[in-house]
Amino acid sequence: SQQGEEDPQALSIQEGENATMNCSYKTSINNLQWYRQNSGRGLVHLILIRSNEREKHSGRLRVTLDTSKKSSSLLITASRAADTASYFCATAKRSNDYKLSFGAGTTVTVRA
Amino acid sequence: DAGVTQSPTHLIKTRGQQVTLRCSPKSGHDTVSWYQQALGQGPQFIFQYYEEEERQRGNFPDRFSGHQFPNYSSELNVNALLLGDSALYLCASSLLASGGYTSYNEQFFGPGTRLTVL
């Protein structure tokens, strides 16, 4: 079974617009990570946010974490065609836990 | 600096057969994890190897076994293949010994091996 659930399942936006996707999880966590996957290939690590953090930025990415609601959001600003991919959230229960639990992902299509 | 490599890229097997997938970790990494990703789903953790031993394991049957070699490369073996084993198998490497015992070190994923079971 998968710990995280992403919402929406699919998202289509125009280039330059912002894309927001959400992730909900079920049990307490140490950290939550977001990954990108292009066309069924390998995953690329985007950002990690720890349970004691509320917001984190990396370039055009902004991640929030609300542990009281067991949810996280990923915002991609000023989207580009190259952002077209599937995005997954993954949770870890302990600080040195490599057994990541992934959600089913959000497929983002950026139209030129 | 080579990233994580996996072989083969694609593989077709029939039910009941056995398969071995291979992974070479990123240079300097000592830990390898394996994930199974069914079509349209997120990856599911199979197991992790460190110092040639299985360190963590997910909810997969004993048909799934692995091995890590002294050079840190790893193999995933699946016996008695079922149709449901068709998936993308991903390998990820990280550096555990250097802070990884108490904090998380980023995992780097390989491109995966696409296994089709007929």
Tell me the three state secondary structure of residue A83. Answer: helix
Interface contact flag, B42 A2, Cβ < 8 Å: yes
CB atoms within 10 A of CB A36: 20
> Are residues B42 and A45, on separate chains, in Cβ contact within 8 Å?
no
pLDDT of residue A1: 46
Question: pLDDT tens, position by position, for chain A (112 residues)?
Answer: 456 788 899 999 999 999 999 999 999 999 999 999 998 788 999 999 999 999 999 999 999 999 999 999 999 999 999 999 999 999 998 877 788 999 999 999 999 9
B104, A42: Cβ pair inside 8 Å? no
Please name every residue paired with A31 in a beta bridge, in sequence order, or none if there are none. Answer: A50, A92
Q: B108 to chain A nearest CA, in Å? A: 7
Closest residue of A to B113, CA-based?
A41
Tokens 């360190």 appear where? Answer: B55
Residues of A in contact with B4 (CB under 8 A): 42
Name residues whose C-beta falls within 8 Å of residue B26's C-beta, 6 or more positions apart in sequence: B1, B2, B3, B4, B93, B108
Q: What percent of chain A has pLDDT over 90?
A: 80
Contact partners, residue B18, CB within 8 Å, separation at least 6: B77, B78, B79, B80, B81
Mutate to test the interface with B, among A98, A99, A100, A106 (most CBs of B within 10 A): A98
Euclidean distance between CA atoms A108 and B10, whole angstroms: 26
Q: How far apart are CA A59 and CA B63, in angstroms?
A: 43
Model confidence over B9-30: pLDDT tens digits? Answer: 999 999 999 999 999 999 989 9
Determine the distance in angstroms separating the CA of B22 from the nearest CA of chain A, rounded to an integer.
Answer: 15
Number of helical H runs and strand E runs in chain B: 0, 11
CB distance A98–B104 less than 8 Å?
A: yes
What tens digit of pLDDT does each residue of B96-115 get? 766 555 566 788 999 999 99
Please write the tens of the pLDDT for every residue from A31-57. Answer: 999 999 998 788 999 999 999 999 999
Q: B104 vs chain A: nearest CA distance in angstroms?
A: 5
